[in-house]
Amino acid sequence: MRIDIITVSPELIRSPFEHSIVKRAIDKGLTEVYFHNLHEYGLGNYRQIDDTQFGGGAGMVMMIEPIDACISKLQAERTYDEIIYMTPDAKTLNQSTANTLSLQENLIILTGHYKGVDQRVRDKFITKEISIGDYVLSGGELAAAVLCDSIIRLIPGVLGDETSALTDSFQDNLLSPPVYTRPSEYKGLKVPEVLLSGNFPKIDTWRSEKAMERTQQIRPDLLDEPL
Ligand code: ADE
């Protein structure tokens, strides 16, 4: 999979790709990630990328020309499955979206800043808009990093233990059950007997029950969502 991220602030987003599972995926050649500095496509001597909004109002709006130039250059080189815009005014990212996107070949992710992008960018280029939650970040870079992490770890071969992504929270619309490691007792706090029993069918049942219990308590809304 290839991901092209368009940003006004490449330095802000680089670091999450230089560590841990995402880095390993890149090192193994399972994904390629490229950062495109929108200022390189900016207008005039000042490389302008934003302007005041028509109709008045506080905050700058990202202009269509630099974004068009960058996206069109990329599209001339290859076909993209999705051109994604990170914005708080969109549907919230969930595991199902991450699963679907992890099967794609080429993605562009556009990160917004200031008041966001000129609506015509959204109308003309964007095929999918994604929010990472009902709060406003200073820019879309951190949101894009979150999206990429959620996608990249699902690409086959990225996780060493192929089953571990399947047992993550949300894969089946359930939160994860509690997990424990050594010691089996710490200052009077005991690990549930069943986990020490070696009876794996019983352990599976216990985990399913706990996952359901936790979901009912904390996120009952997940139980109504389609799988
Ligand atoms: N940009 C600013 N806030 C955001 C959010 N919550 N999700 C995605 N992009 C954003």
> Residues 113-157: pLDDT tens digits?
889 999 999 999 999 999 999 999 999 999 999 999 999 999 999
Asked if 144 and 212 sit in the same domain, the reply is: no
| Confidence (pLDDT) at 162 | 54
Is the pLDDT reported for residue 161 higher than 80? Answer: no
Can you tell me the mean pLDDT for 185-210? Answer: 98
If you measure from the C-alpha of residue 7 to the centroid of ligand 1, how many angstroms do you get, rounded to a whole number?
13
| Confidence (pLDDT) at 225 | 83
Inside any domain, residue 162:
no
Asked if 175 and 148 sit in the same domain, the reply is: no
Q: Which of 7, 89, 122, 131 most suits a substitution to test ligand 1, by most atoms within 8 Å of the C-beta?
A: 131
The minimum-distance atom of ligand 1 relative to the CA of 87 is 9
The minimum-distance atom of ligand 1 relative to the CA of 140 is 1
Domain residues for 18?
2-152
pTM: 0.94
Handedness of CA 99, 102, 103, 107 (dihedral sign): positive
For ligand 1, atom 4, the nearest C-alpha belongs to 88
| Confidence (pLDDT) at 105 | 98
Residue 117 half-sphere exposure, CB side, CA atoms within 13 Å? 28
The minimum-distance atom of ligand 1 relative to the CA of 86 is 9
CA 72 – CA 45 distance, rounded (Å):
21
- Strands in 2-7's sheet, in edge-to-edge order, are 32-37, 2-7, 106-111, 82-92, 128-131
Asked if 91 and 175 sit in the same domain, the reply is: no
| Confidence (pLDDT) at 163 | 55
| Confidence (pLDDT) at 169 | 75
Asked if 92 and 186 sit in the same domain, the reply is: no
| Confidence (pLDDT) at 114 | 81
CB of residue 146 inside a 6 A radius of ligand 1: no
CB of residue 111 inside a 6 A radius of ligand 1: no
Can you tell me the mean pLDDT for 49-68? Answer: 97
Is the pLDDT reported for residue 102 higher than 80? Answer: yes
| Confidence (pLDDT) at 165 | 75
What rounded mean pLDDT belongs to the chain? 95
Q: Which of 91, 126, 152 is the last residue of a domain?
A: 152
Asked if 144 and 176 sit in the same domain, the reply is: no
For ligand 1, atom 9, the nearest C-alpha belongs to 87
CATH code of residue 176: 1.10.1270.20
Asked if 173 and 139 sit in the same domain, the reply is: no
Q: Confirm if 16 and 148 have CB atoms less than 8 A apart.
A: yes
Asked if 52 and 144 sit in the same domain, the reply is: yes
Asked if 106 and 136 sit in the same domain, the reply is: yes
| Confidence (pLDDT) at 172 | 87
Residue 81 neighbours by CB under 8 Å, 6+ apart: 104, 105, 106, 107
CA 212 – CA 220 distance, rounded (Å):
9
Reported as a single tens digit per residue, the pLDDT across 3-46 is 999 999 999 999 999 999 999 999 999 999 999 999 999 999 99
How much of the chain exceeds pLDDT 70, in percent? Answer: 98
Asked if 65 and 25 sit in the same domain, the reply is: yes
If you measure from the C-alpha of residue 220 to the centroid of ligand 1, how many angstroms do you get, rounded to a whole number?
25
CB of residue 144 inside a 6 A radius of ligand 1: no
Q: Based on the structure, what is the number of domains in the chain?
A: 2
CA 151 – CA 17 distance, rounded (Å):
12
Asked if 41 and 111 sit in the same domain, the reply is: yes
Residue 143 neighbours by CB under 8 Å, 6+ apart: 86, 111, 130, 131, 132, 137
Is the pLDDT reported for residue 107 higher than 90? Answer: yes
CA 65 – CA 47 distance, rounded (Å):
11
Asked if 139 and 175 sit in the same domain, the reply is: no
Asked if 129 and 173 sit in the same domain, the reply is: no
Can you tell me the mean pLDDT for 94-118? Answer: 95
Reported as a single tens digit per residue, the pLDDT across 206-216 is 999 999 999 99
